[in-house]
Amino acid sequence: MTLSRTRRALGVGMVGYAFMGAAHSQAWRTAPRFFDLPARLRMSVLAGRDGTRLKAAADKYGWESTETDWARLIDRSDVDIVDICTPGDTHAEIAIAALEAGKHVLCEKPLANSVAEAEAMAQAARRAADRGVHAMCGFTYRRVPAVRLMADLVAEGAIGTLRHIRATYLQDWLTDPAAPLSWRLEKHRAGSGALGDIGAHAVDLAQYVTGDRIAGVTAMSRTFVTRRPVPDGGGFLSTTASAENQYGDVTVDDATVFLATTASGALATFEASRFATGHKNGLRLELNGSAGSIVFDLERMNELGVYDPCQDNPGFRTVLVTEPAHPYIAAWWPPGHTLGYEHAFTHQVRDFVEAIADGQAAHPTFDDALGVQRVLAAAEQSAGENAQWVEVAPGITQDETGGASA
């Protein structure tokens, strides 16, 4: 199903309309207005369970119609792409059904709630690829221009041989014990807590930027607040909630830390916490190599810190990633006019549509995302076994040229 570059319309159907639904909607609207895409995009249908809220979201975000059943969305002839922005427990069922129906799939991260589900999704994606149907996982931070430049610099040998990876993703939105229970705090819905919700981004970013695979981990996890109030209304259903006191059990981690080694022999540390007081969205990746170092901080997302010991007056220098020659930037504003969080989602749409048009693998593929899922599972297993060392199965990963390697 390679798309000829005739700018025919691609109809998009999106499942889910909350936080990620808003971000993805903005991207589908914006990408054709700033990038010369090989196809026109039609925001055909938005799906969700609550008809009233769904209609309000569709009107607000610019969707043409609605469905309260995702299966009906997949069946529609005006849908070529299915965009999945739902909790993790629904990803596998929706994605596999869409791929089998011949629809291209963009699925939010983490890919699934378990390795078994992720493997089934990756297998479905491989079968679909043989028919020209593409699948991509939404590890959106890959599309931040500074991150893409970071990956390019590492690939060009800017830091030499990789020695250390230091990755953290810190938030504080759960530090208040009175913060209500939500699906993100229930294992059967979310799969895991800080580990899968934000730690997945750190793992994917580290493996993507370095081109190196996490080979083994030793981890510790904590749940600092084990019970939380169940919110009134809103249709929230909890299998662990008590009708008597309206409190429910938190069944995921609040924070996970782990040490790791990579396939090349580098040492790595990872920390994911939703209890890091004062940190709102602190994703940071630092790489140290034999010939230099490089640092990215999402809270300074238009910058890279680069250390080259061969420079005169060596020290970390700040590279402002806003020049037209930098990744994605030429489509936007003059140098120095910075980009924001939402732009990475627009770049994601651009890259996905380009891949569909060119008949190329859309990265990160479901196999790439399966690799992340295996790291998350190894960390969870290690934490449950008193920080025992756990090897990460290599599986199949896709490189950036579309080839597969063991």
Confidence of residue 234 (pLDDT cuts 50, 70, 90): very low
Q: What is the mean pLDDT of the chain?
A: 93
pLDDT at residue 306 greater than cutoff 70 = yes
pLDDT at residue 233 greater than cutoff 60 = no
Domains present along the chain, CATH in parentheses: 9-141 (3.40.50.720), 145-339+366-397 (3.30.360.10)
Work out the burial of residue 363: count CB atoms within 10 Å of its CB; fewer than 13 is exposed, 13-18 middle, 19 or more buried.
buried
Confidence of residue 245 (pLDDT cuts 50, 70, 90): low
User: Is 230:246 a contact under the CB 8 Å cutoff?
Assistant: yes
pLDDT at residue 244 greater than cutoff 90 = no
The mean pLDDT value for 31-55 works out to 97
The mean pLDDT value for 132-141 works out to 98
Work out the burial of residue 278: count CB atoms within 10 Å of its CB; fewer than 13 is exposed, 13-18 middle, 19 or more buried.
exposed
Confidence of residue 398 (pLDDT cuts 50, 70, 90): very low
pLDDT at residue 399 greater than cutoff 50 = no
What's the pTM?
0.93
* pLDDT tens digit sequence for 253-291: 999 999 999 999 999 999 999 999 999 999 999 999 999
The mean pLDDT value for 333-352 works out to 98
* pLDDT tens digit sequence for 90-118: 999 999 999 999 999 999 999 999 999 99
Angle between helices 19-34 and 341-358 (to 10 degrees): 60
Phi and psi dihedrals of 24, rounded to 5?
-70, -40
Looking at residue 155, its amino acid is A
Please report the DSSP string for 334-384 in residue order: STT----HHHHHHHHHHHHHHHHHHT-PPSSPHHHHHHHHHHHHHHHHHHH
The mean pLDDT value for 65-69 works out to 98
Looking at residue 371, its amino acid is G
Please report the DSSP string for 314-339 in residue order: -S-EEEE--STTSTTGGGS-STT---
Cα–Cα distance, 199 to 161 (Å, whole number): 25
pLDDT at residue 240 greater than cutoff 90 = no
Cα–Cα distance, 4 to 293 (Å, whole number): 42
Q: What per-residue confidence (pLDDT) applies to 252?
A: 98
User: Is 26:342 a contact under the CB 8 Å cutoff?
Assistant: yes
Cα–Cα distance, 170 to 175 (Å, whole number): 12
Confidence of residue 406 (pLDDT cuts 50, 70, 90): very low
Q: What per-residue confidence (pLDDT) applies to 405?
A: 32
Q: What per-residue confidence (pLDDT) applies to 68?
A: 98
Q: What per-residue confidence (pLDDT) applies to 364?
A: 98
Please report the DSSP string for 243-286 in residue order: TTT-EEE--S-SEEEEEEEETTS-EEEEEEES--TT-SSEEEEE
Cα–Cα distance, 124 to 111 (Å, whole number): 13
pLDDT at residue 392 greater than cutoff 80 = yes
Cα–Cα distance, 118 to 191 (Å, whole number): 12
Confidence of residue 294 (pLDDT cuts 50, 70, 90): very high
* Through-space distance between the first and last CA atoms of the chain, rounded to whole angstroms: 27
Cα–Cα distance, 402 to 368 (Å, whole number): 11
* pLDDT tens digit sequence for 359-378: 999 999 999 999 999 999 99
pLDDT at residue 340 greater than cutoff 80 = yes
pLDDT at residue 380 greater than cutoff 60 = yes
Percent of the chain with pLDDT over 90: 89
Edge-to-edge strand list for the sheet holding 282-289: 317-320, 303-307, 292-297, 282-289, 162-170, 267-273, 255-262, 214-222, 390-391
Of residues 9, 217, 187, 218, the one with CA closest to residue 113: 187
Work out the burial of residue 233: count CB atoms within 10 Å of its CB; fewer than 13 is exposed, 13-18 middle, 19 or more buried.
exposed
The mean pLDDT value for 155-176 works out to 98
Confidence of residue 314 (pLDDT cuts 50, 70, 90): confident
User: Is 259:382 a contact under the CB 8 Å cutoff?
Assistant: no
